[in-house]
Every structure is written in C-alpha cells, then in structure tokens.
Amino acid sequence: MATRILVVDDDRGVAEMLRRNLAYEGFAVDVASDGRAALHQVRDRQPDAIVLDRMLPGLDGLEVLRRLRAAGDATPILMLTARDAIDDRVAGLETGADDYLVKPFAFRELLARIHALLRRRQGDAHEVLRFADLALDTGTRQAERAGQTVELSTTEYELLAYFMRHPNQVLTRDQLMERVWGFDFDGESNVLEVYVGYLRRKLEEGSQPRLIQTVRGAGYVLRGDPQRP
C-alpha cells in the first residue's frame, strides 16, 4: 500500500505541483484547501505525513496543528510558510510541527524532508530503553518517568531516544541536529534548544530531578547524577 501524504494549501498552483510530483514519487496524495477540510481528511483517511501551509483561510495552519496534537494525533507534519522570521519558525515548532520549510522551496528539499520524517516514524525494533527512573518504549513511543506516562511528539521521541541510547555521553549540537532532523538548520536556528526545553518540562513535571543537562560550550548530556531543575 502506498504511503499517503496529505497536502494542505490554499494556493492551487502549489497544491497541484505537490500533488503531481509526490504522486510521481509513488505516494498516494490527498489535497485540502483549508483547515477544516484538512481535519476532515485526517479523520476520514489517516495520512502517514502532512504537508501543512501555515496561512490558510478559516482555520490557519497553527490552529490545525494545535487541534491535531490536542487530539493525540502524532502524524509527522512538515509546515510550509512564506514567513522566514525565526519567531515564526519557532511558533510552528512549539505548536507541534516536526519540520518547517520556507516558501519558495525546491521540491527536492521538500521530498528529502518528507522521507526523513517517515524514516523517523518507522522507528527501531521494539525495545524498552531505561535510564535512572526513565523508561522509553520504542514500540509505542511512550515514555514513563517514575511510573508516570510522558506523552511525546515525534520529534521529542527521536531526541529522547538518541539521548537514551548514548547515556552519560556529551552530544554536540551538530550530532543531535544530524540525527534527529537529518539536515542542517541555519546557524541562527534554536530549534534544538526549543525541543530540549520541551523534554525538560515534560520530564521534570512534579519537580523531578533534571536528567538532560547542558554542558556549556559542548552540548547536552543525559547524566546519571540528576540535578534539580
């Protein structure tokens, strides 16, 4: 069965270009031109990934994203936008997007990012990674801290899994970016710092000791001598 991609864009030219080129690459492609239609499409024909324009009539892309994540939908989402300011990109990522691409873009780059998102979703063989009082099930992609479930987005899962496969090892920014995002962001992007912050808030809920620690000038480490946040 072909991998299904939902394209959500009110620009008919962009939507048709993506539909045609993604279909040529072997994907089954659905198209929605507004936010409400996108939510109906996700409900009726669950996609494997979503290409979501930020600027949509009615419900904009951020609101569509919020509603999907609030409903527990973890489908990988690549957000498209004509806005290239750092704050705009961070807003999309903070809302739950897994990746962000600024218009105009090259189709080859969009295709590479979709493939990267799909590879990440496939995951590894089912196992349970453990560190201190933290457990991560690679089959269900759910984490537990001190017996309490921690819900993770696709990107949060990938980042935490990489930390847990390399405990007590200082991981550089470049290592983490390459492994989790699969490509280089520009030097001004703080997407890694944003997602480390997400993980810390979730893992430290209830004043749990900090496990993901900053090593100044070097990177981050999942350390066995937890500190209070």
pLDDT (tens digit, 9 = 90+) per residue, 29-66?
Answer: 999 999 999 999 998 888 999 999 998 988 999 999 99
Q: Which of 122, 145, 166 is the C-terminal boundary of a domain?
A: 122
CATH code of the domain containing 177: 1.10.10.10
**Phi, then psi, of 184 in degrees rounded to 5:** -90, 125
Distance CA 58, CA 36 (A): 8
Burial status of residue 106 (CB atoms within 10 A of its CB: 0-12, 13-18, 19 or more) = exposed
Query: Are residue 199 and residue 97 in the same domain, yes or no?
Result: no
Per the structure, how many domains does the chain have?
A: 2
Region 119-132 average pLDDT: 75
Query: Domain of 62?
Result: 4-122
**Average predicted confidence (pLDDT) for the chain:** 86
Percent of the chain with pLDDT over 90: 45
> What is the model's pLDDT at position 123?
55
Confidence of residue 229 (pLDDT cuts 50, 70, 90): low
Q: Which of 58, 92, 122 is the C-terminal boundary of a domain?
A: 122
Confidence of residue 125 (pLDDT cuts 50, 70, 90): low
Query: Are residue 80 and residue 150 in the same domain, yes or no?
Result: no
Query: Are residue 82 and residue 155 in the same domain, yes or no?
Result: no
Percent of the chain with pLDDT over 70: 90
**Phi, then psi, of 89 in degrees rounded to 5:** -65, -45
Query: Are residue 116 and residue 155 in the same domain, yes or no?
Result: no
> What is the model's pLDDT at position 64?
93
Q: What is the pLDDT of residues 137-194, one digit of tens each?
A: 887 788 999 889 998 887 888 899 989 988 999 999 888 887 777 654 555 568 889 9
Q: Which of 122, 137, 168 is the C-terminal boundary of a domain?
A: 122
Query: Are residue 116 and residue 93 in the same domain, yes or no?
Result: yes
* Residue 59 · residue 16 · CB < 8 Å: no
Distance CA 137, CA 127 (A): 6
CATH code of the domain containing 90: 3.40.50.2300
> What is the model's pLDDT at position 178?
74
Query: Are residue 134 and residue 92 in the same domain, yes or no?
Result: no
Region 131-136 average pLDDT: 92
> What is the model's pLDDT at position 138?
83
